[in-house]
């Protein structure tokens, strides 16, 4: 009898513990193209507050440090090589189709999206979710959408302020209808960073504007009757660097058009070779200034790139501050470069009941997915992240 009682007590203890872990609400906001060091450049009192009362760190993006691959990595915990969105634009030889963000049909085609995003992991385990424009959230992945989602290409889009109000409205729902996970995407300061560079006055304004916006959201979160049950995470997908107008690398002057079946992207460029032409392309490009060139099988292991069939036969990655393009450009900002470059590192701030006040070194963005699973008290799907790498940030 004592053994049975003891067993029941253990079961009750672990059940209560899991309930406690999953009790809190988690709000995640992504600020596209927000460099990890913008708060040291510009006036960001709220991000400074988060750093002084919660977790201060930065995220190391996955290669390539582009928007869609990295937002989907944040959502799945998988490197782009493993979830399949290996770039913003690429060619799939097996489907004999290209993927491009400019094509609504392709962008919404679930065949391009592998892995399980966090909103589906949560829903599969009984939680409710609401997602505002996160890349991939308007795609019917594994036959499902988030409980609440918004089609990015449906005009007019909700303004940034309306998205913040939408978060509050979701949290004001009756408890049984209230989502435990809310995610929102904002396209700034990436848009300004591209047009004016990371040091531009307009980029400074965009950075300070989103800081103020998130501050207002936080103040409203604090007025909710369960404010002490809400974790707030603010992060980004990648950084931004300056590209001078003469820092272009034209590839086609080195290549014969008959060698190339397709070429996608400017940092990096995935080159799909005609049969028997891979060596010719490699030899023609391997000594080009400011360009690293690999055959698919020779891509350095630290980039976690090259196993996926969608990766080009040749990958050409420009040095930081250069872009691969056979045309003229305006000076401005860009990203997509080697994730070890600190210009590519992204913001990470977190505050709430499950977070310590701590500053830690920058960590890989694949770790965000298992972190969210821990906060929500759910079991993660297979992923490339490692929660133990960042366990110090949790209470």
Residue 8, pLDDT above cutoff 90: no
Give the whole-number percent of the chain exceeding pLDDT 70: 94
Three-state SS letters, 42-83: CCCHHHHHHHHHCEEEEEECCCCCCHHHHHHHHHHCCCHHHH
Residue 344, pLDDT above cutoff 70: yes
Q: Which one from 7, 26, 44, 67 is the annotated catalytic residue?
A: 67
Is 67 marked active-site? Answer: yes
Specify the pLDDT at position 122.
98
Specify the pLDDT at position 23.
75
Q: How confident is the prediction for the chain on average, in pLDDT?
A: 94
Residue 16, pLDDT above cutoff 80: no
| Cα end-to-end span (Å), the chain | 36
CA separation for the pair 89, 27 (Å, rounded): 29
Specify the pLDDT at position 296.
98
Residue 3, pLDDT above cutoff 60: no
User: 352-389 pLDDT, tens per residue?
Assistant: 999 999 999 999 999 999 999 999 999 999 999 999 99
User: 201-248 pLDDT, tens per residue?
Assistant: 999 999 999 999 999 999 999 999 999 999 999 999 999 999 999 999
Of the candidates 325, 32, 334, 320, which has an alpha carbon nearest to the alpha carbon of residue 197? 334
Mean pLDDT of 271-289: 98
Specify the pLDDT at position 262.
95
What pTM did the predictor assign?
0.94
What values do phi and psi take at 235, rounded to 5?
-145, 180
């Amino acid at each position: 009898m004592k053994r049975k009682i003891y067993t029941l007590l253990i079961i009750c203890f672990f059940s209560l513990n899991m309930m406690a872990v999953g009790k809190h609400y988690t709000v995640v906001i992504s600020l596209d193209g927000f460099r990890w060091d913008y708060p040291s450049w510009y006036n960001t009192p709220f991000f400074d507050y988060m750093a002084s009362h919660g977790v201060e760190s930065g995220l190391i993006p996955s290669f390539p440090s582009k928007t869609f691959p990295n937002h989907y990595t944040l959502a799945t915990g998988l490197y782009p090589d493993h979830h399949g969105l290996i770039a913003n634009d690429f060619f799939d030889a097996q489907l004999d189709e290209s993927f491009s963000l400019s094509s609504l049909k392709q962008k919404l085609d679930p065949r391009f999206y592998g892995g399980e995003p966090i909103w589906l992991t949560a829903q599969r385990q009984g939680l409710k979710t609401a997602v505002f424009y996160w890349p991939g959230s308007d795609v019917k992945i594994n036959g499902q959408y988030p409980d609440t989602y918004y089609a990015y290409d449906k005009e007019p889009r909700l303004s940034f302020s309306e998205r913040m109000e939408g978060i509050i409205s979701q949290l004001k729902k009756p408890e049984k209808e209230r989502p435990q996970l809310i995610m929102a995407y904002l396209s700034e300061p990436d848009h300004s960073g591209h047009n004016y560079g990371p040091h531009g006055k307009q980029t400074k304004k965009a950075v300070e504007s989103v800081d103020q916006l998130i501050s207002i959201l936080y103040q409203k979160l604090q007025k909710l009757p369960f404010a002490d049950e809400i974790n707030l995470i603010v992060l980004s997908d990648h950084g931004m660097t300056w590209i001078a107008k003469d820092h272009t690398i034209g590839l086609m002057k080195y290549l014969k058009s008959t060698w190339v079946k397709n070429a996608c992207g400017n940092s990096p460029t995935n080159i799909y070779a005609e049969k028997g032409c891979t060596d010719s392309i490699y030899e023609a490009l391997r000594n080009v200034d400011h360009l690293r060139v690999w055959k698919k099988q020779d891509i350095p292991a630290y980039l976690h790139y090259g196993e996926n069939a969608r990766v080009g036969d040749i990958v050409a990655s420009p040095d930081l501050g250069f872009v691969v393009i056979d045309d003229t450009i305006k000076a401005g900002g860009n990203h997509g470069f080697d994730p070890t470059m600190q210009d590519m590192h992204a913001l990470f701030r977190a505050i709430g009941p499950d977070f310590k006040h701590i500053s830690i070194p920058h960590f890989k963005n694949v770790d965000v997915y298992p972190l969210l699973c821990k906060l929500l008290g759910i079991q993660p799907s297979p992923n490339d992240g490692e929660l133990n790498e960042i366990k110090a940030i949790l209470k």
